[in-house]
Chains A and B, each alone.
Chain A
Amino acid sequence: MKFKNFVKKNKSFCFFAVLALLIILAAVFAPLITGGVDPAASVLKDALQRPGGAHLFGTDKLGRDIFTRVIYGARTSLVAAFSVVLIIFVLGTALGVLSGYFGGWVDTVIMRIADMMVSFPDMVFAMAIAGILGASIRNAVIAVALVSWTKYARLARSLVLKIRNRDYVAAAVVTGSKTPYILMRYMVPNVIPTLIITAATDIGGMMLELAGLSFLGFGAKAPTPEWGLMLNEGRPFIQSAPWLMIYPGAAIFVVVVVFNLLGDALRDVLDVRDE
């Protein structure tokens, strides 16, 4: 009955979790939903068809089915956004905890690097890195991760500093606990909840940044079905085929809204301070 109580208590969280799960399932079972249509299959005689009939969202200049590409695009976006968040979560937590626990030169080096990264406008730096590494989803993920880890490191560091001088930590040191044990047993569990909330609220934003990079041509490469790239490819047809820019954009929007709301709801669930 515990589950039922949880659902009753956190209605909005459960609602958005179900929506997010539906999106993820749509991505996983893309071939089933699209009826086995190949997202890269071009049928030139069907080029630039209006939405409706055989093609729910219409077709692009190569006669590829937009609906299929939008559904498959969820795979690209979700995998990329989750990778970024996972990377910055692990990297930021590790660096922040080390920085806060050891202090001294370790702290100085890590935090000065973080300071430097903050002095660049995110998108500008990510654009330069992704572009120079060469256009690909992987490089876009690397670029966004490189500019975004600092927030997590700072947060983890400040949380560690709060408990660093508590008696129980001192007691652990005195009774001969090994440093790695103290880090994993006391420091990391202390920072995890706050960082999970941050990570959850960041998923939507990361999706937007990644789609932006792809839109500029520094992310996914054709013929990958990716929403930002699809918008870019549809741009020349704004007058003749506006549906090319309605559906992929709407897909980004809906998915980002769901994950942003889920992040907010998760904060309410995990944040005990409000109670």
Chain B
Amino acid sequence: MNAKQLGKRLLQIVLVALGISFLTFLITYLAPGDPVRTMFAATGMMPSEEVVQETREAMGLNRPMLVQYVSWLQNCLRGDFGTSYAYHKPVAGLLMDRLWPTLKLSISAMFLMLLVAVPVGMAQATHKNSVVDYALRGVTFFGVSMPNFWVGLLLMLFFCVRLQLLPVVSSAGDIKSLILPSVTLAFAMSAKYTRQVRTAILEELNQDYVTGAMARGVAEWKILWMNVFPNSLLPLITMLGLSLGSLLGGTAVVEVIFSYPGMGSLAVAAITAYDYPLIQGYVLWISLIYMLVNLAVDISYSYVDPRMREGRQRL
């Protein structure tokens, strides 16, 4: 990526980030119910009409929407995401404490997924339409159709209740409690990703240079790992970035099942309690993470494919 492209991309990023922040603000702004009353309800108080009006004024809720949005955005830029109604603590701190556990879960799930999906997808592509391919296609098909929360519950039933190998309730620190949540997350994702790996590798295998190399008697594994795999990295990385969206959403479900102390389970509790500042913070943070990862994916193109470094058009 050259300087001009980078500048253009950064401008785009800023616009998208602004859009994200506006929509996030809009969700809670348009939410039915009065935030002041919700806030008091969270503390168990029944305020009088006067107190409600005063608090509304003090919180600036009587100002026009755009004014409210701009001041909220300014605070966010300063790192102040508001104060949680339910916990009476700054949202930034609450999310920060839960950020690492969720990232750890996502990263290990992604790692697991790659470990399964890449070799399996490649095996399917190289043995196209064989018995192995059909069998694995069947497996991935069922994998895609299984709800992730059901997979989680079944794993829990088997490993925690029947075999009693792993703890039912997860804690942040210990490795054992990371196993089932990441396996659950990786399960559905690897099914989807395996199919994509298969398609990408198959497409590359049809190229003339593969036939040429085969004809010259180059070892098959060499062609596969030295040529075909590097050449199909581009679509694979793109799809990996996109699948992170479902991964981040999936963490919420999985964290709830395994009582894993991450951002997702915090957010589910926040949504249930109408804790608007915390919900806003969560949606904003997760979307920004998603956006940044996809930016990283875009930048990685120029490393994976040198043709893109010289500012040529993306193929």
Chain A interface residues (CB < 8 Å from chain B) = 112, 115-117, 119-129, 131-134, 204, 208, 211-212, 215-218, 228, 231, 235, 238-239, 242, 245, 249, 252-253, 256-257, 260-261
Contact = CB atoms under 8 A, between A and B. Distances in A.
Interface string B278-315: 01001100110011000000000000000000000000
B246 interface: yes
Nearest to A214: B149
A252 B150 contact: yes
Given A119-B287, A239-B161, A252-B150, 5 more contacts: A120-B283, A212-B148, A212-B149, A238-B157, A245-B154
B32 interface: yes
Contacts of B28: 132
B153 A260 contact: no
Interface stretch (B69-77, B218-226, B265-273): B265-273
B74 to A, nearest CB: 21
A134 B286 CA distance: 22
B250 to A, nearest CB: 7
Nearest to A121: B245
Interface of B is mostly: helix
Contacts of A212: 147-149, 253
A10 B245 CA distance: 36
B153 A123 contact: no
B225 to A, nearest CB: 31
A239 B169 CA distance: 13
6 contacts: A120-B286, A120-B290, A124-B248, A131-B271, A217-B268, A238-B160
B11 interface: no
A260 B140 CA distance: 12
Interface of B: 16, 19-20, 23, 27-28, 31-32, 141-142, 144-150, 153-154, 156-157, 160-161, 168, 244-246, 248-250, 252-253, 256-257, 267-268, 271-272, 274, 276, 279, 282-283, 286-287, 290-291
Contact of B249 (A112, A121, A231, A253): A121
Contacts of A215: 147, 149, 253
B147 A127 contact: no
B153 A253 contact: no
Contact of B286 (A121, A131, A133, A257): A121
Contact of B283 (A112, A125, A238, A256): A125
A149 to B, nearest CB: 14
Q: When A and B form their complex, which 7 residue pairs have the shortest distance between CB atoms, in order from nearest?
A: A123-B249, A131-B271, A249-B150, A121-B245, A116-B19, A256-B145, A132-B31
Contacts, number: 135
Contacts of B276: 132
Given A216-B256, A253-B147, A132 B274 contact: yes
Contact of A235 (B250, B252, B257, B267): B257
Given A215-B253, A217-B268, A260-B141, A124 B283 contact: yes
Contacts of A208: 145, 147
A217 B265 CA distance: 12
A245 B145 contact: no
A26 to B, nearest CB: 18
A122 B243 CA distance: 11
Nearest to B290: A121
Contact of B156 (A133, A211, A238): A238
Contacts of B141: 257, 260-261
Contacts of B19: 112, 115-116, 119
A242 B150 CA distance: 12
A205 B16 CA distance: 27
Nearest to A260: B145
Contact of B147 (A112, A116, A133, A249): A249
Contact of A257 (B142, B157, B245): B142
A124 to B, nearest CB: 5
A133 B31 CA distance: 6
Given A120-B287, A121-B246, A211-B147, A245 B157 contact: yes
Nearest to B20: A119
Nearest to B30: A132
Contacts of A235: 153, 257
Contact of A116 (B20, B32, B271, B283): B20
B147 A252 contact: yes
Nearest to B265: A216
Given A132-B274, A238-B156, A245-B157, A231 B150 contact: yes
Contacts of A217: 268, 272
A252 B149 CA distance: 11
B37 to A, nearest CB: 15
A232 to B, nearest CB: 8
Contacts of B23: 116-117, 120
Specify which of A127, A134, A253, A260 lies most central, judged by the most chain B CB atoms within 10 Å of its CB. A127
Contacts of A117: 23
A253 B146 contact: yes
Specify which of A128, A239, A253 lies most central, judged by the most chain B CB atoms within 10 Å of its CB. A128
